[in-house]
Amino acid sequence: MGLITRDGIQLTLEGAKVMLQAAEAKAHEIGVDMDIAVVDAGTNLLCFHRMDGAKITSIDVAINKAFTAAGTRLPTSNYSEVAGPGGKAFGIHVSNRGRFMIFGGGLPIVVEGQTIGAIGCSSGSVDQDTEVAQAGIDALLRALTH
C-alpha cells in the first residue's frame, strides 16, 4: 500500500447540479416538494435546494443525511435497525453533534468503486426521500456514460 493516492475522482459542482435537477424532477413527478443536499467525499456541502413547499424542518435533515451517507459510505437506511432503541449501535444518532441520520433518504455516490460524495433528501416518506435521492444518482451516472 502506498503512502498517498493520486488522481482520485472528485464530484464537481456541475455534477452536483445534474443530480439536483434530476432529484427535483423526480420530486415533482411524485408530487412531494423536497429539500435536496449534495456533499462531496469530505462531507462538505456542494449544493442545496429547497423546493417551495418543502418542510423547513427538513433542511438540516437533508444536509445531515448527505453528511452521514458520505461519511460512512453507506445508505442512511442501513442504520435504521442497528441504531434504533435496543440496537447494537443505539446512540450513534447523537454522534457528530447530532448530525448522524439513521433513516433512509441519504445515499452515497459511488463511481468506479469510489465514494465521491452523497445526496440527501427529506420532506417526504423515507421511501419517497430515497426514490428522489436515487433519481439524482442515476442522472449523474447516465451523464458520465454519455
Q: Which CATH superfamily is domain 13-144 in?
A: Haem-degrading domain (3.30.450.150)
- Would you kindly state where each structural domain of the chain is located, as residue ranges? 13-144
What per-residue confidence (pLDDT) applies to 6? Answer: 74
pLDDT band at 1 (very low <50, low <70, confident <90, very high): low
> Helix or strand or coil: residue 64?
helix
Q: Which long-range contacts (CB under 8 A, 24 or more apart) does 98-101 make?
A: 99/64, 99/67, 99/68, 100/64, 100/68, 101/61, 101/64, 101/65, 101/67, 101/68, 101/76
> Tens of pLDDT along 87-104?
898 888 888 888 999 999
pLDDT band at 80 (very low <50, low <70, confident <90, very high): confident
> Tens of pLDDT along 122-132?
999 999 999 99
